Amino acid sequence: MAMNKHFHMSKGEGELSYSRNSSIQETVWLMNKQLLESVLESLFKVSYGVDKICNIVDLGCGVGPVPLALVSLVSNVIKGKLKELECDESCDEVGFKCQIYMNDLPSNDFSKLFKDLMSLEGLQTKYDGNPLCFFMGAPGSYYDRLFHHNTLDFVHANYALHWLSQVPAGLWNEHGVPINKGNVYMSETSSKAVGNAYWTQFENDFTKFLKNRSEEVVPNGCMLITLLGRPNDSDFFTWRTVELKIINQSLIALISEGLVKEEKLDNFNFPAYHPSMDQLESVVKKEGSFLIEEKRIVIHDSASEIKNKHERAQVLAKSTYALSESLISHHFGDQILQPFFDKLVYFAFQHLDLGYLAQNHSLTILLRKI
């Protein structure tokens, strides 16, 4: 399945929408806020009299609190710079303006996104009658070229690049028979070929991403990328996120209830890959367009602030549903969405009740174009 045709986070503002169930992504973003703020401040260190337009893109922006928080932070950094320079609307000229591109697949809920952006307080600050920040939608896959040569000053991507451009082709043999039966991702029962297929797809996708951004980012421009990763390379098959675990368990349970056919599950594979930091570094070094200036791994237990296991299971199930609904609906049909969600809640609670953690490993790298 090609992701650009069917994939999107759950739309709208309902109880199971992504906009209301992306608190885990927001938590990760907040952990990197200080680093991001430092990068943004360095972008706006320009002199008066220079008609500087700073071009920023949020790749895989989605909807919800994260893109709104990014835009608010950019706006606040600009206002802080103006205050530092003692600029107001009486100044003859301001030395910089900012253009922010919001990128995601065309199926993203851009209507919701821009409605939320326009409602943000403090974004109406103007200079000489014009906003300091201009916003544009940039639909398309971030694995393709999206912008003109040497136009982007800063690229931001939060919890986006672990999504692959497609389901790895190597998950079927030469006769079209699935080789990862009963699994939606790599597991202890998967063959080495399954792991190789996932790694090859990620390596190709991330290399393509870096090559295209190297064309678009200005010399010395930078990218701050955070994605869902794995602890290390030694647990290649044994490590799975709690989200992938309960998705797999839920679909198997629906087979036993006759709501899903076994062959449908055998042909369903989750189009994501969670690399280790060593794997990320190896691709960056091999592609050769960027240097890693900073790297960090943050381990966090999802929704750990909620002590009631039933309530926490609901949060984990809703966030899992919000990111997987379009994939499940496309492959299995809309009729299983409600029982699928019910199973997610059940298995999320079982996971927590057995004393297991709901840990995620977030990898962040700050890249600068050579």
User: Each residue of 189-231: pLDDT tens digit?
Assistant: 899 999 999 999 999 999 999 999 999 999 999 999 999 999 8
The answer to whether residue 130 scores a pLDDT higher than 90 is: no
The answer to whether residue 237 scores a pLDDT higher than 80 is: no
The answer to whether residue 48 scores a pLDDT higher than 50 is: no
Q: Whose CA is closest to 3, among 331, 347, 361?
A: 331
Q: Is residue 355 part of a domain?
A: yes
The answer to whether residue 38 scores a pLDDT higher than 80 is: yes
Instruction: Kindly report which listed range (59-73, 130-144, 148-162, 348-362) carries the lowest average pLDDT score.
Output: 130-144
Q: Whose CA is closest to 304, among 247, 354, 360, 246?
A: 360
Q: Is residue 39 part of a domain?
A: yes
Instruction: Kindly report which listed range (34-43, 62-71, 115-124, 280-289) carries the lowest average pLDDT score.
Output: 115-124
The answer to whether residue 37 scores a pLDDT higher than 90 is: yes
CB distance 10 to 340 below 8 Å: no
> How much of the chain exceeds pLDDT 90, in percent?
74
Q: Is residue 293 part of a domain?
A: yes
Q: Can you tell me the mean pLDDT for 242-254?
A: 96
- Its domain, for residue 190, covers 3-7+21-369
CB distance 290 to 223 below 8 Å: yes
The answer to whether residue 362 scores a pLDDT higher than 80 is: yes
The answer to whether residue 140 scores a pLDDT higher than 50 is: yes
The answer to whether residue 265 scores a pLDDT higher than 80 is: yes
The answer to whether residue 66 scores a pLDDT higher than 50 is: yes
Q: Is residue 12 part of a domain?
A: no
Q: Is residue 76 part of a domain?
A: yes
Dihedral angle sign, alpha carbons of residues 306, 311, 312, 318: negative
Residues with Cβ within 8 Å of residue 202, at least 6 apart in sequence: 164, 273, 275, 279
The answer to whether residue 47 scores a pLDDT higher than 50 is: no
Instruction: Kindly report which listed range (22-26, 213-217, 230-234, 265-269) carries the lowest average pLDDT score.
Output: 230-234
The predicted structure's pLDDT at residue 193 = 94
The predicted structure's pLDDT at residue 5 = 75
User: Each residue of 155-193: pLDDT tens digit?
Assistant: 999 999 999 999 999 999 999 999 999 999 998 889 999
Domain count, the chain: 1
Residue whose structure tokens are 């199973």: 343
The answer to whether residue 14 scores a pLDDT higher than 70 is: yes
Q: Is residue 13 part of a domain?
A: no
The predicted structure's pLDDT at residue 92 = 45
User: Each residue of 314-335: pLDDT tens digit?
Assistant: 999 999 999 999 999 999 999 9
Average pLDDT, the chain: 90
Q: Is residue 191 part of a domain?
A: yes
User: Exposed (0-12), middle (13-18) or buried (19+): which is 353, by Cβ within 10 Å?
Assistant: exposed
Give the domain CATH number at 340.
3.40.50.150
Q: Is residue 73 part of a domain?
A: yes
Most distant CA atoms of the chain, gap in Å: 72
The predicted structure's pLDDT at residue 124 = 56
The predicted structure's pLDDT at residue 188 = 87
Q: Can you tell me the mean pLDDT for 88-95?
A: 50
Instruction: Kindly report which listed range (8-12, 15-19, 76-80) carries the lowest average pLDDT score.
Output: 76-80
The answer to whether residue 238 scores a pLDDT higher than 90 is: no
